[in-house]
Amino acid sequence: DGGITQSPKYLFRKEGQNVTLSCEQNLNHDAMYWYRQDPGQGLRLIYYSQIVNDFQKGDIAEGYSVSREKKESFPLTVTSAQKNPTAFYLCASKNTGTNTGELFFGEGSRLTVL
Amino acid sequence: AQTVTQSQPEMSVQEAETVTLSCTYDTSENNYYLFWYKQPPSRQMILVIRQEAYKQQNATENRFSVNFQKAAKSFSLKISDSQLGDTAMYFCAFMNIMRFGAGTRLTVKP
């Protein structure tokens, strides 16, 4: 089945460590997105990529980094510079070739800093 | 700046009744897409309904319908005959900029 796979589902990190969240899609979508979800703040856009080897900062990119070396993959690294990284992270993709604009989401990754 | 605002952090409704969730947005664009997503306790994001701005007719999907007021930049979601399974967070989204509102937590009471 086509879809978006995020891993790991749960991740624990010590302060000062970098961690990488994986996002893989087999929907053949060009665009991919990373959102952060905190209670009461909805989904906030971290980074997005419209095409391979290109990506742009979203609203809260500080302390995060991404790469887009393959169409299927858009990993997110939470660096030690991110002051409050404990959150739920959602990856999404979109087919830019259609007009519907719908985002397809993964199941999310819960990051907890100990 | 383009923003999406949901002014109701929490709402509740009795089973089988109707509830309306509000959403307003700000944009200078003329053509765009608006969506409502549902996030149940599983945290999986599920598309509920979509509206294209150039279409004057309000979108409807079974028990879910929208009241789209383009001039007022308003996009409310009406859930009819509410069911216990409708209990979830609901997010309004403006898809041209991939931005979401803060969400409304809806509880359907038996």
> Is A101 within 8 Å of B96 when comparing Cβ atoms?
yes
Task: Point out the residues of chain B with pLDDT beneath 50.
Answer: none
C-alpha to C-alpha distance for A71 and B45, rounded to whole angstroms: 22
Per-residue pLDDT, B97: 78
- pLDDT (tens, 9 = 90+) of chain A, 114 residues, equals 679 999 999 999 998 899 999 999 999 999 999 999 997 678 999 999 999 999 999 999 999 999 999 999 999 999 988 889 999 999 999 988 766 778 999 999 999 998
Per-residue pLDDT, B22: 98
Per-residue pLDDT, A1: 66
User: In chain A, positions 21-40, which contact chain B (CB-CB < 8 Å)?
Assistant: 33, 35, 40
> Is A108 within 8 Å of B6 when comparing Cβ atoms?
no
Per-residue pLDDT, A100: 72
Per-residue pLDDT, B40: 94
Which one, of B14, B6, B16, lies nearest residue B77 by Cα?
B6
**CB-based contact, A43 to chain B, within 8 Å:** yes
Per-residue pLDDT, B2: 65
Contact B11, B104 (CB under 8 A): yes
Using the structure block, give the residue that is written with the tokens 């007009």: A99
